[in-house]
Structure 1
């Protein structure tokens, strides 16, 4: 082959958009070797035919194959080797896709809560309103309640329980209290912690949340003053002649997970309302 029909490594760098360092490494790995190496200068030269492997290498790289895996493909191996390698790569990428999807949902849901809290604080949204909560199922755990909010929300026992089910959680922690009047009077000793899972749960491990109308009010600030919001909801319901259930939900939009400044905590308090009083 005439040297005039060959491309120097500098020209190959320009034509194929590959650095000299990458070309030398590909040569070392045995997947793209020069057609000629000058005895005098040590310069590498490549033929056009050899360079046609570059688009293939880039495609395999784009598809997630390692250089070692590409070597067999470039050597013109059998279809069975391609079939096995591609099938394994598909399984590997599906697993990665699932893991990335889990991470993306976790981060996006947390971001949405931060934006919700920021909107509530900036606009001082703390009046009672009626809203419908869509029905969904959440994983849950019944626990004792000792008025230690930090321990209840950043919940080691609940975290261990989720892990024991090989699952992952997302979105806000929600706690259901059997009687908000007992809670206001310091007599509440039971709670039900719940949260959305990313992976599907068994029916027996979940509880229905929502599917009803509630009186909702955001509480801005420390959890120690949340009774003020309960009183606001109770007074509003009485004034507007609505019945309401004893149980209540606290949906922790932002809390110890997000900030150490309790003044910036945002909690949505919800009480299920009933028929209009005559």
Structure 2
């Protein structure tokens, strides 16, 4: 048996952390002396602790690691394979985001050296007035927190695509996200995912036609806030009012490109002329 100090030294995990892991049920001491409360770990627990450390180094949360440890033995390897691949894609996405951020910083530094204001890129976002046609959309509507967006988009659109395939429906366009919340709330936002289809069936509704202020943006989704700011400024300056929820059309399939700068998104603000 190893004392908590010896176990801590070998695994390079503080005794404070080991006590916390015990509290949350991640790894318990194999034995606790009832007289003095000293904690002891078995040699076989070294492997478990190293496994926990490895998953932590892969940016799994403690909750995720706890779930993995609780999987049934006969299916654990298969499920671990899936979990590792999902984490791999998550990290790759973060790396692409960091690469884009570095490129942005470099561009801002170069522009500032030339005397060009940092926010001048907003002037490059163009706005046009368009008349949209009515669309029959297959939809699902959810309350999503900011942390849910990335995974939520793929999950809910996948369910809509599955229904189209299962019911042999006719897809007419690219995915749409409609934002119904009046204000941003990190805890949850009213978000509608939709696909235009031909058939009018249960789960469809009409996205009405109307006048819209529209911008087309090429780049990562994280930068769409700039487009929203530009559209808001434009409708104010041009004497229009927003009359219903803004929405986005994803012209580029994000699964078909590894470069966020290749993503093309159309943003629509339904408007009317101010009286």
Structure 2 length-normalised TM: 0.48
Return the index of the structure with the highest Cα Rg.
1
